[in-house]
Amino acid sequence: MCAPAAALFMLTQGCLMPQSVDPANTRPHTIPRVDLTGLFDYMFKPTMLLYPRGQNDPANCHCVLKVKIPTIVADDPTVNVEGRLFVDYDLAVPTSQRRLKTVPLDGDFQSSETTRGPVELDIDADVDGLASGIHVYELVLAEQQGFALDSVFPPQRATKPTWDSSLLKFVVEVQRQFDPLRPTCDVLAAPPQERVCSP
């Protein structure tokens, strides 16, 4: 008789129920990635041609590639994502390991949207120091907090343990032709190549 009475007393007194002591966040880290289904046709070509400047181009004008990536997918809308752009990355050449550009894509606690973007990457042969020939660009995407120190192997792009990144590669062919009969880069322009002029 005492046991049921004690149980009834505990229920009426608001007895604490057992609580989970597991970590609140047990999900794996997000691996941000490019939505390949939304890419423009030029991204699927073997190379993208870039004619920086010819002899017939005005001194204040040259062509660049404006590579547009419409959508980055990140399954957790609250995390900050970071993209790091490299060109001709080579572990044997320390100078090639520098980031050309860092692309921050902030998370939002007020949204349930799992996509970010668009992202536009300006490929400028003069700014990037590109000689004539083939150059491989790589966009590394990871959670911002997931990147390791820049000195961790591979430099500038390694992630911490249990974190992962994704990679988008595309190839640019720079044609620095100085033939005076070559058309201007404006005439040769085709997406994503665009002519830009300074004032």
- Which helix (H) or strand (E) segment is 33 a member of? strand 33-34
178 falls within a domain:
yes
Q: What is the pLDDT of residue 153?
A: 96
Q: How far is CA 149 from CA 21, 106, 115, 157, in A?
A: 32, 20, 27, 9
Structural domain count of the chain:
1
Q: What is the pLDDT of residue 189?
A: 77
pLDDT in tens, 162-183: 999 999 999 999 988 777 777 7
Q: Which domain holds residue 81?
A: 28-197
Q: Is the C-alpha dihedral spanning 37, 41, 46, 50 positive or negative?
A: negative
- Total-model pTM: 0.82
20 falls within a domain:
no
Q: What is the pLDDT of residue 183?
A: 73
Q: What is the pLDDT of residue 4?
A: 54
10 falls within a domain:
no
Round to whole Å and give the CA distance between 137 and 150: 19
22 falls within a domain:
no
131 falls within a domain:
yes
CATH code at position 93:
2.60.40
Q: What is the pLDDT of residue 14?
A: 54
pLDDT-flagged residues of the chain (< 50): 1, 7-11, 18-25
192 falls within a domain:
yes
107 falls within a domain:
yes
